[in-house]
A and B are shown apart, each in its own frame.
Chain A
Amino acid sequence: GAVVSQHPSWVICKSGTSVKIECRSLDFQATTMFWYRQFPKQSLMLMATSNEGSKATYEQGVEKDKFLINHASLTLSTLTVTSAHPEDSSFYICSALTDNYGYTFGSGTRLTVV
């Protein structure tokens, strides 16, 4: 089946620094990837949809300049949290869409900003 690898699993950074999260499709090409944010005991909240080679489409209320998404290849999408602050601490999850397997999720990244 389709496998999506997400790294890092967890990261701690200082307030004001930037953090990059990678999402790779290991055995398939993903033309569309999604980025979600999840707070404790809550559902997944879609942040943005990225298509390979084009600009990401952000959901209402998500700051484009803060959450930079790059989908430069068919197997890699990245989310960069710029100038991170404690309120950005959350669980970030990527997902890739395939014709054969539907939506496949990464294992998530726990971001803690101190």
Chain B
Amino acid sequence: QQQVKQSPQSLIVQKGGIPIINCAYENTAFDYFPWYQQFPGKGPALLIAIRPDVSEKKEGRFTISFNKSAKQFSLHIMDSQPGDSATYFCAASKGYSTLTFGKGTMLLVSP
């Protein structure tokens, strides 16, 4: 049973566009929701993370929106650039237990 569902599987946007990646979780005990960026042949790198006591968090061009009642959270990338082309994973955990990952979204930002 997949506990974190991520969509879309792939996404193509033009430079300057705002790609949005969505995740939905089932376990209401989750209290840590990070987003990771992964380039081919590299390990994931933490982009931004949120806890359920806030509805939005912004760091640079990356914004997480969190809807606790709907059990959903999303990543927005403002003014996307070709260098943002990568695979993005959402994840969730309860405290500092193991992370549960979404299946990933391959983002391509065209010049």
- A-contacting residues, B41-57, CB 8 Å: 41-46, 49
Interface residue A102 (Cβ < 8 Å from any Cβ of B): yes
Indicate whether A103 sits within 8 Å of B101 (C-beta atoms), given known contacts A41-B106, A97-B96. Answer: no
- Beyond A49-B98, A97-B96, A102-B49, whether A44 also contacts B34 by CB under 8 A is no
Inter-chain contact total with CB atoms closer than 8 Å? 48
Known: A43-B101, A44-B101, A46-B98. A103 touches B45 (CB 8 A): no
Per-position binary interface string of chain B over residues 8-30, scored 1 when its CB falls under 8 Å from any chain A CB and 0 otherwise:
00000000000000000000000
Q: Give chain A's interface secondary structure class.
A: strand
Question: Any chain A CB within 8 A of the CB of B66?
Answer: no
Report how many residues on chain B are interfacial, defined by Cβ distance under 8 Å.
19
Chain B residue with the shortest CB-CB distance to A97: B96
Q: A43 to B5, alpha carbons, bound, how many Å?
A: 12
Rounded to whole angstroms, the CA-CA distance of A99 and B42 in the bound complex is: 24
Contact surface of B with A, Cβ cutoff 8 Å: 32, 34, 36, 41-46, 49, 89, 96, 98-99, 101-104, 106
